[in-house]
């Protein structure tokens, strides 16, 4: 029998160091006014030297486990979504498994850029729904600051570091994940990428000199794509779940830009009072943004048992992913 699967524990971790728009004015030709007006971002968190993605991921994972009242040995599978993994391989998930001591868990990374967390939820939930596993840890984690070109004002003002984690387990029938929509358009791969360091363009002195190990982005193209797919993906997930706009209690979108978030909310007919927004304080934390926003909103007491949540993201790939979730945790 297919089981109902939901989030039974959630946690997040962000670095202490805050970098404001005023700080960025000192290193690139930008202004607080431009950044706030075009993106809504006021500040972001930046990891200290020596702190990698797996470190933030492990902190978030331990918080999610404590919230779920589980120990690391209870976890059957770890899925980490990241566009800024510790290394090409081994997977960041394996490093997290070692760091938290989840010795009974399988572990792998999933690459769908900012959509990775929702992609990870869809994969992990299937393993529980079919009875193969009991508890799956899904993590979105990024230390993008280490692969950002701090001389490129088109990108360096947008991103931040952080991690969010969720424990998926069986929940009472009617709760948990009700609908999912995953999508991709690989013809747009060049709109958002790290060009070098893989097999297509191996690392060389020239690639380093050309800044090709950093994130490159065609901002307007990604913007057009995002405004098109975010609402559409959420609507497909809602149709799958049989949920209408007026039944949505909280929209928790990928936090890239307030203008993109507003456009998705408008398309979905969800008022901004029901939209979780924290991009002003964290910038775009890619795969971590949705679980951080969800965990923060829960910690602030906004989310109650029985609430209908719509999570939706988009990102490099190009990819998109939507998920409808009936919150099952008693707070
Ligand atoms: N400060 C000042 N001026 C800037 C800055 C900056 N930081 N960055 C760009 N500009 C300039 C540009 O050079 C351009 O100048 P020009 O007209 O003289 O050429 C001007 O501002 C306007 O640039 P646009 O790119 O047209 O500005 P736009 O309104 O499109 O906003 C932005 C740019 C914010 C990047 C927007 O396109 C956007 O948000 N795109 C989506 C980005 C995104 O979400 N990426 C992450 C995807 S998720 C993932 O997978 C990681």
CA 135 to CA 118: how far, in whole Å?
A: 16
* Ligand 1 site-directed mutation target among 116, 218, 222, 259, most atoms within 8 Å of CB: 222
Could you tell me the distance, in angstroms and rounded to a whole number, from the CA of residue 327 to the centre of ligand 1? Answer: 35
Model pLDDT, residue 180: 97
Which residue's CA is minimally distant from atom 31 of ligand 1? Answer: 38
Which residue's CA is minimally distant from atom 3 of ligand 1? Answer: 30
Tokens describing residue 188? 């747009």
Nearest CA-CA partner of 289 in 79, 142, 85, 183: 142
pLDDT band at 330 (very low <50, low <70, confident <90, very high): confident
Atom number, ligand 1, closest to the C-alpha of residue 192? 50
Region(s) of the chain under CATH 3.40.47.10: 5-175, 177-326
Rounded to an integer, what is the distance from CA 121 to the centroid of its chain?
A: 11
> Mean pLDDT over residues 229-252, rounded?
97
Cis peptide bond prior to 90, omega within 30° of 0: yes
Residue 275's Cβ-side half-sphere holds a number of Cα atoms within 13 Å equal to 23
Please give the C-alpha separations between residue 92 and each of 52, 267, 276, in angstroms, as whole numbers: 10, 36, 28
Model pLDDT, residue 213: 98
| pLDDT tens digit sequence for 184-219 | 999 999 999 999 999 999 999 999 999 999 999 999
Model pLDDT, residue 331: 73
pTM as predicted = 0.96
Residue 75's Cβ-side half-sphere holds a number of Cα atoms within 13 Å equal to 35
Phi, psi at 18, each rounded to 5°: -100, 130
Q: What percentage of the chain reaches a pLDDT higher than 70?
A: 100
DSSP H helix total and E strand total for the chain: 11, 13
Could you tell me the distance, in angstroms and rounded to a whole number, from the CA of residue 33 to the centre of ligand 1? Answer: 13
Q: Is 49 exposed, middle or buried (0-12, 13-18, 19+ CB in 10 A)?
A: exposed
Could you tell me the distance, in angstroms and rounded to a whole number, from the CA of residue 154 to the centre of ligand 1? Answer: 5
Instruction: Please confirm, yes or no, whether 284 is among the known catalytic residues.
Output: yes
| pLDDT tens digit sequence for 93-127 | 999 999 999 999 999 999 999 999 999 999 999 99
| pLDDT tens digit sequence for 257-295 | 999 999 999 999 999 999 999 999 999 999 999 999 999
177-326: CATH homologous superfamily? Thiolase/Chalcone synthase (3.40.47.10)
Instruction: Please confirm, yes or no, whether 114 is among the known catalytic residues.
Output: yes
Strands of 48-175, DSSP E: 77-81, 106-110, 136-142, 162-170
Atom number, ligand 1, closest to the C-alpha of residue 153? 7
Could you tell me the distance, in angstroms and rounded to a whole number, from the CA of residue 182 to the centre of ligand 1? Answer: 26
Question: What lines the ligand 1 site, CB under 6 Å?
Answer: 30, 34-35, 38-39, 83, 113-114, 153-154, 157, 192, 217, 219-220, 222-223, 226, 256-257, 284, 286, 315-316
Phi, psi at 171, each rounded to 5°: -130, 175
CATH of domain 5-175: 3.40.47.10
pLDDT band at 63 (very low <50, low <70, confident <90, very high): very high
Catalytic residue among 94, 114, 156, 323, which? 114
CB 231 within 8 A of CB 268: yes
| Local structure of residue 213 (DSSP, 8 states) | T
Model pLDDT, residue 211: 97
* Ligand 1 site-directed mutation target among 27, 29, 38, 257, most atoms within 8 Å of CB: 38
Q: Is 154 exposed, middle or buried (0-12, 13-18, 19+ CB in 10 A)?
A: middle
Catalytic residue among 21, 135, 254, 323, which? 254
Judge whether residue 1 has pLDDT over 90: no
CA 318 to CA 192: how far, in whole Å?
A: 8
Cis peptide bond prior to 318, omega within 30° of 0: yes
Could you tell me the distance, in angstroms and rounded to a whole number, from the CA of residue 308 to the centre of ligand 1? Answer: 33
* Ligand 1 site-directed mutation target among 28, 36, 53, 154, most atoms within 8 Å of CB: 154
Model pLDDT, residue 119: 98
CA 291 to CA 304: how far, in whole Å?
A: 16
């Amino acid at each position: 029998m297919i089981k109902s699967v939901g989030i039974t524990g959630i946690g997040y971790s962000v670095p202490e160091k805050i970098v404001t728009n005023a700080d960025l004015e000192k290193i690139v030709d930008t202004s607080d006014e431009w950044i706030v007006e075009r993106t809504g971002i006021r500040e972001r968190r930046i990891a200290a030297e020596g702190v990698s993605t797996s470190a933030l991921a492990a902190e978030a994972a331990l918080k999610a486990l404590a919230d779920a009242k589980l120990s690391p040995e209870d976890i059957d599978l770890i899925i980490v979504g990241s566009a800024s993994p510790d290394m090409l391989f081994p997977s960041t998930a394996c490093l997290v498994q070692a760091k938290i001591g989840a010795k009974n868990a399988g572990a792998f990374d999933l690459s769908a850029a900012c959509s990775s967390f929702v992609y990870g939820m869809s994969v992990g939930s299937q393993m529980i729904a079919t009875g193969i596993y009991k508890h799956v840890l899904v993590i979105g984690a990024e230390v993008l600051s280490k692969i950002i070109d701090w001389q490129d004002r088109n990108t360096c003002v947008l991103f931040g570091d952080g991690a969010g984690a969720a424990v998926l387990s069986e929940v009472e029938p009617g709760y948990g994940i009700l609908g999912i929509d995953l999508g991709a358009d690989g013809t747009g791969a060049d709109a958002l990428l790290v060009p070098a360091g893989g097999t297509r363009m191996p690392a060389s002195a020239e690639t380093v000199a050309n800044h090709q190990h950093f994130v490159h982005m065609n901002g307007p193209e990604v913007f057009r794509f995002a405004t098109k797919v975010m609402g559409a993906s959420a609507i497909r997930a809602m149709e799958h779940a049989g949920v209408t706009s007026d039944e949505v209690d909280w929209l928790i979108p990928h936090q890239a830009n307030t203008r993109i978030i507003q456009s998705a909310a408008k398309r979905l007919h969800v008022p901004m009072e029901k939209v979780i927004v924290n991009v002003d304080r964290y910038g775009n934390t890619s795969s971590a943004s949705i679980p951080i926003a969800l965990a923060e909103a829960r910690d602030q007491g906004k989310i109650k048992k029985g609430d209908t949540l719509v999570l939706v993201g988009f990102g490099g790939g190009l990819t998109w992913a939507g998920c409808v979730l009936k919150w099952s945790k008693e707070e």
